[in-house]
Structure 1
Amino acid sequence: MTGCKSASSGAAYDLQNGDFVMAFGSCNKQDEENLLWDDVIAQNPSVWVWLGDNVYADTNDKREKRRAYEEQRYQEGYREVKKKMHVTGTWDDHDYGQNDAGANYPYKEDAQELFLDFMDVPRNHPRRMQEGVYHVEEYATPKGKVKLIILDTRYFRSPLTKNFGEGKKKYLPNRAPGSTMLGEEQWKWLETQLFKSDADFNIIVSSVQVLSNKHGFETWGNFPLESERLFKLIRDSKAKAVMFLSGDRHFSEFSRFNAEGMRYPLVDFTSSGLTHTWEDLQKEENPFRVGNFVTKKSFGVLRLNFAENKATMLMIGDNGEVLHELEQGY
């Protein structure tokens, strides 16, 4: 079964001063106040993208997990978001059901059912028959097309390699053949999405960071062969303007990498901390970071301009404060 297009595919979306606008974020505790929903609405995006940890439901109890989702669903600010824009996204570990869990999590089928309920996926939709929550959405505008490729980095992911030796890193890179982030079915699907893409911008959503690979927590860097495969796929596909959105880390940052053979740098916009952040973080190694990281609660905004072939990336805090900004031309 392959990840299929959302019902939003083919819809016509308006532009703001020539820009297609989407907003996104992660790490949202349903029992803590989210002060950012009014700021999200003020940006007037066409789409809100959940990057994972959309609720915190670290439980194997299906009823408890459903209760967490329902508590989030009926929050006033989020209800307004759903009225004003299309909502989509992926999950991470805390809405999957267990910290750092992967393919071995025994309750992942129940977790997927509840996630799709939260995302209002119809009961008869093909995504209900698919293993994993990966899917694709396309947004047609008067000036061009945006393709949102949403990955599932949980359902098929191989076990992580724990660090039992010296140092503070929780996990170590695993180069064992056969270890995977996505599983072969999802890899085949991703290859199709990139090689056949006619979009002007191709945005890949990964709940965990793609580029930052030295911190020893969850990252694509825990599976170096998978990272290499991903970069090669993007290069070989010749898909236009590929960039990443990620969450998970409880702080936000921009990472940029000049991959071999690429016509443009790859950017990973990590947006993390809607209701809570790693406020006392002083430093963390990331050879690809652009500027400094941001530990204030924030969400991300992506403005895609077709005429200038440019992406403007903004980290937005409470009261609309711009915390960090990056432009990338393609």
Structure 2
Amino acid sequence: MQKTTLFLSSFLLSCLSMAQIVSGPMIGHVEFRTATIWMHLEDSIEEVTVQYIESNLADRPAQQVKVKLPGGEFNTATVHLTGLEPGKMYTYYVYVKKGPAIAKGEVRTQTLWQWRTNPPDFSFLTGSCNYINESKFDRPGRPYGGDSSIFATMAKEKADFMLWLGDNWYTREVDYYSNWGLMKRPATDRSQKILQPFLQSMPHYAIWDDHDYGWNDADKSYPLKKTSRDAFMKFWANPSYGNKDEGIYTQFTWNDVDFFLLDNRWWRANDNWWDSSNGQSNPDKTMFGKEQIDWLKNALLSSKSNRNINFRIIATGSQVLNPISTYDVFRKYSKEYEDFIQFLQEAKIPGVIFLTGDRHHSEIIEVKNVGMYPLYDITSSPLTAGTHVFDQREKNNSYRILGVDKYQNYARISISGTGKERTLQVSFIGLKGEIYNSWSIQAKNLNFTTSN
């Protein structure tokens, strides 16, 4: 009888969720004493209540937070859980009006280790280029979107969070030109059933690239960029979104790693604008813009002064270093690129690694610079969008340490070890969890020495 009651309760919860939750709940930004829960609810729902309690103290009174919803077709809520304790698992329940919970999940806060122990080992997932097919609006012929079961594989990972590297959804012609279209695309893609367990399994952070910002290769001239930013903020739960109502860049810390999430579209000059003339670099051709670059430099200097940080991961939608890429790599914005590399050298910022998407293949690029340690660009792509084979120009790229083409994949990045022996390991993983290739680097090899 008890088993039957449990089954009926689970069945009722599932039915209520399907009826009222369009997508989610998704875990967003998580800190030591706070956590964020995002969800998209039916348009008639005006308020949502979330109750939460430490998982092993279920017999005690739960904390509660209520959030008013905006209503309408894109009726999303971002709920902030506060008053938590570090390193604890919390169970949360979602309620609409009176009656049973319509959703239940768990979230773990970050561990307070600073000045107490060595940094905990952890791992996170990352990837880019998620195309969900919608045949009546897609390009004719073979569907561009691939096997979305990759998200079921990712949901089973025991990772601490997921970092989406752009092209997280693909706007298309029917979306480009209207505010409604730019909201409808993420709402449609986010509601896919295969995604829901993954959204609930770990925290999610994101940046964007051209296809979830606007049209292909969209730049700062895209006329609906403000709506794109509104859509990004409505469907993600990052710690912040740019400054002065511009851009979506932000920063967060997980154990001994600082993450800098960049916006490579809001201030971006068109890729075809001339990069140099008569041997002079064009100062007006920028990918990130002065305000964002100034922020990044100051943030890196602040990070450098924190002795608890071993790695500094800079995430952006476009590749950064690839010297032979024919596509929109940062180094083709040569004035801004060279100035930033010079800053890293002169300020002696240790532990920098770039994390990028976009290319529909995965690879690790190494570039050696005079006056500093080698720089690495880890590219992870695609999750579900079309794959390709390395073309003739890039097939034998001497700057590539390893690469994965032809296959959908994501990356698992793990940080482990003690002190300056901390090691960052990258594994590129396929649809069923098969490991295609792995690579690692120690923090002590990303540092400045007296010889530099």
- The alignment's TM-score, normalised by the length of structure 2, stands at 0.64
Q: Does 1:35 align with 2:152?
A: no
Which shifted more, 206-215 or 46-55? 206-215
1:194 aligns with 2:300: yes
Matched to 1:252, the amino acid is S
Offset at 1:51? 0.5
Helix, strand or coil: the match of 1:188?
helix
1-side partners of 2:410 and 2:442: how far apart? Answer: 22
The number of residue pairs the alignment matches comes to 308
1:267 aligns with 2:384: no
Question: By how many angstroms is 1:201 displaced?
Answer: 1.4
- For residues 131-186 of structure 1, give each alpha carbon's deviation from its aligned partner in whole angstroms, at most 9, with x where no partner exists: 0011001123xxxx221100001000112226xxxxxxxxx744312321111110
| 2:124 is the counterpart of 1:22 | yes
Partner amino acid, structure 1, of 2:347: S
Larger radius of gyration: 2
Report the CA distance between 1:218 and its aligned residue: 1.0
The aligned amino acid for 1:114 is: A
- Residue 108 of structure 1 and its aligned partner are, at CA, apart by 0.5
Aligned to 1:223, which of 329, 333, 346? 333
Question: Is the 1:146–1:203 contact (alpha carbons within 8 Å) kept by the matching residues of 2?
Answer: yes
The CA deviation at 1:47 is 1.3
- Are 2:162 and 1:48 equivalent residues in the alignment? yes
Q: How high is the sequence identity, in percent, across the aligned residues?
A: 28
- Note the C-alpha offset of 1:120: 3.4
Question: Could you tell me which residue of structure 1 aligns to residue 254 of structure 2?
Answer: 139
Amino acid at match of 1:250: H
In the alignment, which of 20, 30, 40 is matched to residue 8 of structure 1?
30
Counterpart contact for 1:26–1:53, Cα < 8 Å: yes
Contact 2:29 2:237 (8 Å CA) reproduced: no
Say if 1:153 and 1:182, in contact at 8 Å, map to a contact too: yes
The answer on whether the counterparts of 1:36 and 1:318 sit within 8 Å (CA) in structure 2 is yes
| Contact in 2 for aligned 1:48/1:87 (Cα 8 Å) | yes
User: Which residue in 1 is equivalent to 2:11?
Assistant: none
Q: How does 1:39-78 map to 2 (within 5 A)?
A: 39-58=153-172, 59-78=176-195
How well do the aligned residues superpose, as a CA RMSD in angstroms?
2.4
Instruction: Return the match for 2:198 from 52, 68, 81.
Output: 81
Which residues of 2 match residues 109-120 of structure 1 at below 5 A?
Answer: 109-120=226-237
1:236 pairs with 328, 336, 346, which one? 346
| SS of residue in 1 equivalent to 2:154 | helix
Distance 1:128 1:73 in 2: 26
Which one has the bigger strand percentage? Answer: 2
* Maintained 8 Å contact 1:294/1:324: no
Are residues 1:177 and 2:283 paired? yes
Say whether the 8 Å CA contact 1:212–1:287 is kept in structure 2: no
Q: Unpaired runs of 5+ in structure 2? A: 1-27, 34-108, 114-118, 134-144, 444-452
The TM-score, its normalising length taken from structure 1, stands at 0.86
Alignment of 1:251-262 (within 5 A): 251-262=361-372
Give 1:295 deviation, angstroms: 2.5
Alignment of structure 1 residues 91-102 onto 2, 5 Å: 91-102=208-219
The Cα of 1:211 is off from its aligned counterpart by 1.1
1:210 aligns with 2:292: no
Cα pair 2:387 2:405 within 8 Å, conserved: no
Aligned to 2:264: 153
Match of 2:427 in 1: 314
Segments of structure 1 that go 5 or more residues without pairing to the other structure are: 1-5, 163-171
Question: Is the 1:214–1:221 contact (alpha carbons within 8 Å) kept by the matching residues of 2?
Answer: no
Note the alpha carbon deviations across 1:1-20, whole angstroms, 9 max, x for none: xxxxx9534565369x9532
**SS, match of residue 311 in structure 1:** strand
Shift of 1:61: 1.7
Aligned-partner residue type, residue 109 of structure 1: K
